[in-house]
Amino acid sequence: MRQHYLLHLSSVAALLAVAACSDQNQPSAPDVPADLARVQGQPDDANALARAVPGFGGFFYDAQGRPTMYLTTPTARGAAERALAPYFQKHGVATGRIQTRPAAHSWDQLERWRGQVSPSALATRGAVYVDADEALNRVTVGAERGAIGQLRASLARLGLPADAMVVQEAQPITFAVGAPRPRPGTLSLQGRVRPIVGGVQINFPGFLCSLGFNVSGGFITASHCTNVQGGNNSTPYWQPLQSTDPVQIATEVADPNYVSGGTCPAGRRCRRSDSAKASYANGITFTLGGIARTDRVGRSLTITGQWSVSGEAVATVGQVVNKVGRTTGWSQGQVTNTCVDTNVSGSDITELCQNFVSATVGSGDSGSPVFAIGSGSNVSLVGILWGGSGSSSFVYSPMANIHNDLGSFAVR
């Protein structure tokens, strides 16, 4: 998918563009677990830690921010709390604050059913996503309005428990239009920034995106912020624009191919992250661990400082996360879904195990860093933004998935 700003490089005007990416090299899909981050059992991923506890049905924060567990039986609480102890300790959650809800299904069942549903459902025209939903204790399937009946019929043929599945209307995953103008005379996300930090505008041939975060010797952005999505094509980058600052800042060096087969839906190509890595040119200054900070949450592009990356984290449903991007600036909102298998509208691409956030996004925000704010100016990276549903919900690839595709790298 290609949905960013098309640039007439002879002028400073930007027009919204949508163009398809293609990659003819389609090897067999690797044998990867259905939920990479959770299988790894990271101490800040609650559902990973308790997934094998009998009776555990999912962990999330409710609309009031209260930590909540689903349990099939109240007697499972003790075992679940012991399994979740590393998470509670890291996040300062007192076990006495945890509320429980009766679960119809265990988390292990939901993950297994999600794995069975996803390949067939997402191969259906009009399917948007498939999720083992922590907040509903169900497998939810998002579908465009005209596809709901067909998807329900497809799920019925799988013979899975009807009360475990929810098919609901969803907007296709795409980008929204609209970009605020920076105030003259201020340091802007859309202007020249040196040393280069995360969240600022980058330009590659014909298009604009946002720089995600710096790594040792380079930076991470979205895979579709390259000449061809998937496969290294040595895409050149400028900051902010080739037309105003023609010194090339970086070159694409890593962007794995999207692959077919295996757990990937029929007729589609899959990866676990929409991410790519670029290497800085000699002499380009950048701040490792720096992310631009604007003067306020909202559609402001004025840079007044920066955040410092202190590490990486895994976000939980209900947790507040943030992004900084060249189009809509700093926005924040609650994580609404985690590890969602997501079709990309207008393409044959499916991104596996992505996270959804209820927060502002606009075209050109692709590649933005997504992070959780800690103490002072410290933040923890949780992923890279690549898409959205309308203008009020964005989708990002979690850090574990980015490492799965691009390998290890230092972020500070």
* Mean pLDDT value of segment 343-357: 95
Tens digits of residue pLDDT in 230-245? 999 999 999 999 999 9
pLDDT at residue 174, as a whole number: 72
pLDDT at residue 182, as a whole number: 53
When pLDDT is cut at 50, 70 and 90, the band that residue 384 belongs to is very high
**Which candidate, 156, 127, 130, 125, places its Cα nearest to that of 143?**
127
pLDDT at residue 37, as a whole number: 40
When pLDDT is cut at 50, 70 and 90, the band that residue 184 belongs to is low
Tens digits of residue pLDDT in 31-47? 334 444 443 457 889 99
Q: Is the pLDDT of residue 30 over 80?
A: no
Residue type, 142: G
* Mean pLDDT value of segment 199-227: 95
pLDDT at residue 177, as a whole number: 30
CATH code, 2-22+175-406: 2.40.10.10
Q: How far apart are CA 68 and CA 85, in angstroms?
A: 14
- Cα torsion 7, 11, 13, 18 to 10°: value is -20
- What's the chain look like in SS3? CEEEEEECCCCCCEEEEEECCCCCCCCECCCCCCCHHHHCCCCCCHHHHHCCCCCEEEEEECCCCCEEEEECCHHHHHHHHHHCHHHHHHHCCCHHHCEEEECCCCHHHHHHHHHHHHHHHCCCCCEEEEEEECCCCEEEEEECHHHHHHHHHHHHHCCCCHHHEEEEECCCCECCCCCCCCCCCCCECCCCCCCEEECCEEEECCEEEECCEEECCEEEECCCCCCCCCCCCCCEEECCCCCCCCCCCEEEEECCCCEECCCCCCCCEEECCCCEEEEECCCCCEEEEEEEEECCCECCCEEEEEEEEEEECCCCCCCEEEEEECCCEEEEEEEEEEEEEEECCCCCEEEEEEEEECCCCCCCCCCCEEEEECCCCEEEEEEEEEEECCCCCEEEEEHHHHHHHHCCCCCC
* Mean pLDDT value of segment 237-265: 96
* Mean pLDDT value of segment 253-261: 97
- Domain positions in the chain are 2-22+175-406
When pLDDT is cut at 50, 70 and 90, the band that residue 172 belongs to is very high
Mean pLDDT of the chain: 88
When pLDDT is cut at 50, 70 and 90, the band that residue 391 belongs to is confident
Q: Is the pLDDT of residue 275 over 80?
A: yes
pLDDT at residue 9, as a whole number: 31
Tens digits of residue pLDDT in 128-160? 999 999 999 999 999 999 999 999 998 999 999
Give the number of residues written for the chain: 412
Encode 95-119: b = buried (16+ Cβ within 10 Å), e = exposed.
Answer: eeebeeeebebbbbbbbbbbbbbbb
Tens digits of residue pLDDT in 1-24? 444 444 433 322 232 232 223 332
Tens digits of residue pLDDT in 64-105? 999 999 999 999 999 999 999 999 999 999 999 999 999 999
**Which candidate, 237, 133, 197, 232, places its Cα nearest to that of 326?**
197
Q: How far apart are CA 205 and CA 7, in angstroms?
A: 8
When pLDDT is cut at 50, 70 and 90, the band that residue 389 belongs to is confident
Peptide bond into 240 cis (omega under 30): yes
Of residues 272 and 28, more confidence is placed in 272
* Mean pLDDT value of segment 304-330: 97
Percent above pLDDT 90 for the chain: 84
When pLDDT is cut at 50, 70 and 90, the band that residue 179 belongs to is very low
Token digits of residue 392:
């009020």
pLDDT at residue 390, as a whole number: 79
Q: Is the pLDDT of residue 221 over 70?
A: yes
Q: At what angle do helices 148-157 and 107-121 cross, to 10 degrees?
A: 120
- Single pTM value for the model: 0.89
pLDDT at residue 180, as a whole number: 46
When pLDDT is cut at 50, 70 and 90, the band that residue 183 belongs to is low
